[in-house]
Amino acid sequence: MHILPAIFAIICYLIAAVLQWQVVGGRSINSTIIRLIGLLAVISHGFSAYLDLHRPSGIHLEFFSAGSLIGWLVAALVLLSSLRQKIDNLYIGIFPLAAFALFFTLFGLDSQQGKHYDTGLVIHILISILAYSIFTLAAFQAVLLAKQEYQLKHHITKGLLRSLPPLQTMEALLFEMIWTGLILLTLSLISGVIVFDDLFAQHLVHKTVLSILAWLLYATLLIGRHLLGWRSHRAIRWTVGGFIVLMLSFFGSKFVVELLL
């Protein structure tokens, strides 16, 4: 049963997020303690996700299970990234998001039957999930960058701003995430062409069109950054816009197909 590790992970996620929020508020808390609690959450979440995904009838990868898997991967990525970049404040948004995604797997709202997937399809799904996870992290980074820019503009030097790297470092990290995500999204689209006979078949057309649109948005942003020096406002708007389109392509199509039809 994945319920007990899931509950433990949710509690640890929320504790770590609250502690990090208190750090932003000026309280002195050892960052190692928060990371250890976050690590416990990620390990427990991973174990819960494994139990939820692997069923006697095959792999269970429906709407809420897929959301939980993405939440786990995003939490793991931000925890790992925080070891080399000062982005601990992303815990405040990412950890509750992961807890929220995991919470819905506790009610068995998905079909309980698993499916057997071909190896090529499994690879395509894993690359897609990794791409979505990177872009989720980029979207949170963009929101944090917007907040930092607002505080600098209004000469607010307390709280969040004090605990963040310089604006240039935050921007560089954002575009590093977008480059990584775009490469993975490209591989996802290529693997989709290989795996599926027709990417524009009725059950795939919405996902395909929205994924290509998201790819174009992110590619345009990177070209604008390289050729026109696009920064801050545009980077934030295009990043969040691309993320919304991408999430609609994945979760929107899964929601309609699995829960409404």
DSSP string, the chain: --HHHHHHHHHHHHHHHHHHHHHHTT----HHHHHHHHHHHHHHHHHHHHHHHEETTEE---HHHHHHHHHHHHHHHHHHHTTTSS-GGGHHHHHHHHHHHHHGGGGT-S-S--B---HHHHHHHHHHHHHHHHHHHHHHHHHHHHHHHHHHHTT--STTGGGS--HHHHHHHHHHHHHHHHHHHHHHHHHHHHH-S-TTSTTTHHHHHHHHHHHHHHHHHHHHHHHH---HHHHHHHHHHHHHHHHIIIIIHHIIIIII-
19 band by pLDDT with thresholds 50, 70 and 90: very high
Average pLDDT, the chain: 82
Mean pLDDT throughout 241-258? 72
Q: pTM to 2 decimals?
A: 0.78
112 band by pLDDT with thresholds 50, 70 and 90: low
The per-residue pLDDT for 200 is 67
The per-residue pLDDT for 261 is 46
Q: What percent of the chain has pLDDT over 90?
A: 26
* Lowest-confidence pick of 24-28, 181-185, 256-260: 256-260
* Tens-place pLDDT, residues 124-178: 888 888 898 899 888 888 888 888 888 778 777 666 666 667 778 788 888 888 9
What residue has token string 């931000």? Answer: 78
The per-residue pLDDT for 15 is 96
259 band by pLDDT with thresholds 50, 70 and 90: very low
